Amino acid sequence: MPTYGFLPCSKAALGNIFLITVYGYLMFLAATFSSAGSELLLEILGPGINGGLYPPFLGALPDAMLILVSGLSESVASAQSRVSVGMGLQAGSTVMLLTVIWGTCVVVGKCDIQNSVAVDLKDTKGFSFTGSGVSTDVWTRYAARIMAVSVIPFVVVQLPQIFHSSSGRHLAVLSALILSLSLLIGYYVFQVFQPRIQARRIDYSKRKCFISGFLKHLRMHAFGRLFTDQGAPNFVVLREIFNTIDCNGDGQLSHSELKAYIMGVRVNETILDENEATEKLMKDFDTSNNQEIEFEEFVAGVDKWLDEVQGSRSTVPGTLEHLNDVHEQTRRDYHLLRGAWIKNDDEGIKKIKAALFSLLGTAIAAAFANPLVDAIKSFSCATNIPTFFISFIALPLATNSSKALWATIIARRKKLDTVSLTFSELYRQVTTNNVLCLPVFLALIYARGLTWDFSSEALVILIVCIVMGAFGSIRYTFPLWTAFIAFLLYPFSIALVYVLNYVFGWS
């Protein structure tokens, strides 16, 4: 039977492109299931000891699995050739998170910068390089510094290259492995006892759930829509609601009147207690800081909150259908993080779901990581394109796409707390890759007696992590021009590896 070069089962380039696409999609599913399992596990365990330990591990599992199988070959020579796929994925994931995704989050999350701080929900300056950008909090700076520290093993493993020594490479790999394992333990201890990122995600989700619930109840008790078809406030309807809350008719809403309304219509729904909910509402609406909310402040506050929960819904903004849709989504998001149970779904079912998602993600990654590596190797042979560049560019798209989607959606909220959450998560993911995936890679190199010839790739990881870590460590505000520096680092990284490997002959 003749063999046709264009068939997926052949060794031709087109067939291997098909296989890489299929296996890449399966790795995307593995990453998605692992991420879902980690979120459910955080719900069950909470943000304490186990909640800070297992979910980050599950999130990095597909990358670690690909790195592991890339070095598990029958012969040392084959393993040496295949392990470049794992290193390409390690470098590509780190670079993509800190350049393309980081820069995109600055662009979609930008607000006007006033007095060196980005103003929440105010985006009137367009694409001003210096007048528009994002701001983050102090915890995000700490996350960036931790990420910068996590690259120390890359420096250690590079020492023989720096001193032009070939005899000390095996010892350098062992030293870097021990150091990376120590950092892995230290990082997870930090995650266990300092679960601020998980707590912040829970606080943000709690806030969104209360806001959407409050707006839903306003709309339910209103005789008309809160806003017109043109997006302008419906002053007649809002005045009726305001007068309903204003029990004494003095034209101002006091703390006690707001609390009575929240308790009366059950806005809270057990997410916040009445005092906390009232304080949150007063803080956001009372712009004059006189502990009273005038009608103009009430209208502006409702308008601001509706913008915050707008999202990308197909339903008309401000309608009861839209607000019900948003509120149900925010409740699900909150429950996934907080550990409160979704209606009609008990703890046992959630444990089963978490286990199934985690096992399914692991099983898919384990089953298809090796065929994916083989397909990449075959494509490289057919096209003479180095396997590193295929794994550097293509594989991170599969394993990081769900992280990229989540980051851009959260950054679009255009608030300091949501932007801080986004960048903290990006730094955390890179740190997890460094302290989890690198030890797997170094262990393969040392155990199988392979040669460390990835100095250029390690240098790229060092440069990108140090540059972006320095940005995050010394700055609270990132103007729009910083996004373009991040974008430029991506092609720079690819070009640098090519020049060092194929022009200067680094190994």
pLDDT tens, residue by residue, 16-34: 788 888 888 888 888 777 7
pLDDT at 322: 56
- Where is average pLDDT lowest: 4-13, 293-302, 338-347? 338-347
How many angstroms separate the CA atoms of 9 and 216, rounded?
55
Mean pLDDT in the chain? 78
Quick one: CA torsion of 464, 458, 398, 491, rounded to 10 degrees? 50
- Among residues of the chain, what percentage have pLDDT more than 90? 22
Hey, what are 461's tokens? 């990881």
Separation between Cα atoms, residue 390 and residue 379, nearest integer Å: 9
**In the predicted model, what is the mean pLDDT of residues 277-306?**
84
Task: Identify whether the C-beta of residue 442 lies closer than 8 Å to the C-beta of residue 176.
Answer: yes
Q: How far apart are CA 51 and CA 354, in angstroms?
A: 13
CB 191 within 8 A of CB 52: yes
Give the distance, in angstroms, between the CA of residue 457 and the centroid of all CA atoms in the same chain: 23
- The predicted pLDDT at position 35 comes to 67
Average pLDDT for 234-246: 84
Comparing 318 with 255, the larger pLDDT belongs to 255
> What is the pTM for the complete model shown?
0.68
> What pLDDT score was predicted for residue 461?
95
Residues 427 and 472: beta-carbon distance below 8 Å:
yes
Report how far residue 461's alpha carbon sits from residue 95's, in angstroms, rounded to the nearest whole number: 7
Q: What is the DSSP letter of 250?
A: S
Task: Give the distance from CA 324 to its chain's centroid.
Answer: 26
Distance CA 492, CA 486 (A): 10
| Average pLDDT of span 252-268 | 77
**Of 409, 438, 412, 407, residue with least CA distance to 424:** 407
Tell me which of 138-147, 267-276, 390-399 is least confident.
267-276
Tokens 């790795």 correspond to 27
Question: Is residue 132 helix, strand or coil?
Answer: strand
Most confident of 66-80, 418-432, 461-475: 461-475
**All domains of the chain, ordered by start, with CATH?**
13-203+342-502 (1.20.1420.30), 204-338 (1.10.238.10)
Nearest to 70, CA basis, from 441, 447, 501: 441
The whole-angstrom separation of Cα 184 and Cα 442 is: 13
Q: Which two tokens stand for residue 33?
A: 């299931």
